[in-house]
């Protein structure tokens, strides 16, 4: 069930991405949303594996603050690699 929140949050981040300066011809429009989703899913799985319960706030805080960071840095890095 918690992964559904990560999917919705990544979709919202992907919709907001072009309006905060993440629009480029060097990568597709889905890259920011997908990069935030992939990091969120991997981070959620690894934190769950480390023993963080889903009812604890730390797993949510770490995941929800890391996803926008991935949405920002991955496309910028990809843009530099392709130019």
How many structural domains compose the chain? 1
- Residue 67 lies inside a defined structural domain of this protein: yes
- Residue 47 lies inside a defined structural domain of this protein: yes
Q: 15-46 pLDDT, tens per residue?
A: 888 888 777 787 888 888 899 999 999 999 99
Mean pLDDT of 7-20: 89
- Residue 45 lies inside a defined structural domain of this protein: yes
- Residue 75 lies inside a defined structural domain of this protein: yes
Global pTM reads: 0.85
Express as a percent the part of the chain with pLDDT over 90.
Answer: 55
State the helix-helix crossing angle for 2-16 and 57-82, rounded to 10 degrees.
40
Q: Is the pLDDT of residue 57 over 80?
A: yes
Cβ contact 42:10 at 8 Å? no
Q: Is the pLDDT of residue 60 over 90?
A: yes
Please report the pLDDT score of residue 1 as a whole number. Answer: 74
- Residue 56 lies inside a defined structural domain of this protein: yes
- Residue 48 lies inside a defined structural domain of this protein: yes
What is the domain extent for residue 46? 27-83
């Amino acid at each position: 069930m918690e992964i559904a929140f990560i999917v919705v949050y990544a979709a919202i981040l992907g919709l907001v991405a072009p309006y905060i300066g993440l629009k480029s011809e060097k990568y597709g429009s889905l890259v920011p949303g997908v990069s935030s989703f992939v990091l969120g899913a991997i981070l959620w799985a690894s934190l769950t594996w480390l023993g963080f319960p889903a009812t604890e706030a730390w797993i949510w805080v770490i995941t929800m603050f890391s996803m926008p960071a991935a949405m920002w840095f991955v496309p910028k890095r990809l843009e530099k690699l392709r130019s």
